[in-house]
Amino acid sequence: MDLIPKPDQIVAASANLAQKVLYGGLADLRPMPRTLIDEGTLREVYHYRPVGKVKESGDPVLLVTPLAAPSMCFDLRRGCSLVEHLVSGGRPTYLVEYGEVSFKNRSLGMEHWVTEVLPEAIRVVSKHAGDRPVHLVGWSLGGIFSLLTAAAWKSLPIGSVTALGSPIDVTQVPLIAPVRPLLGLVGDKASPINVAYRLMGGVPKPLVRRAFQLSTFNKLVTKPFVQLAKLDDTDFLAQVEAVDRFTANMIAYPGRTFGQLYHRMIRGNELATGTVHFEGRDISFADIAVPVLAFGGASDTIAPVSCVRPIEQLATDVRFEVVPGGHLGMLTGRAARRTTWPLIDEFLAEHSSDGVGVEPPAAPSAKPRRTRSKAAKPGVGEPPAPVLGANPKRRFSSAGSRNLAGSKSRGRDAG
Query: Do residues 81 and 32 touch, judged by C-beta distance below 8 A?
Result: yes
DSSP helix/strand/coil, 209: helix
Q: Which amino acid is residue 393, in one-letter code?
A: K
> Which of 6-20, 272-286, 317-331, 394-408 reaches the highest mean pLDDT?
317-331
What ranges make up the beta strands (E) of 65-133? 93-97
Measured distance CA(128)–CA(154) in Å, rounded: 20
Domain 24-410 is found in CATH 3.40.50.1820: yes
> Which of 18-22, 41-45, 148-152 reaches the highest mean pLDDT?
148-152
Q: How confident is the model at residue 191 (pLDDT cuts 50, 70, 90)?
A: low
Q: How confident is the model at residue 168 (pLDDT cuts 50, 70, 90)?
A: very high
Tell me the whole-structure pTM to 2 decimals: 0.75
User: pLDDT tens digits for 97-154?
Assistant: 987 765 565 667 778 888 899 999 999 999 999 999 999 999 999 999 999 999 999 9
Measured distance CA(218)–CA(211) in Å, rounded: 13
Kindly list the domain boundaries of the chain, sorted by start residue.
24-410
Measured distance CA(169)–CA(271) in Å, rounded: 7
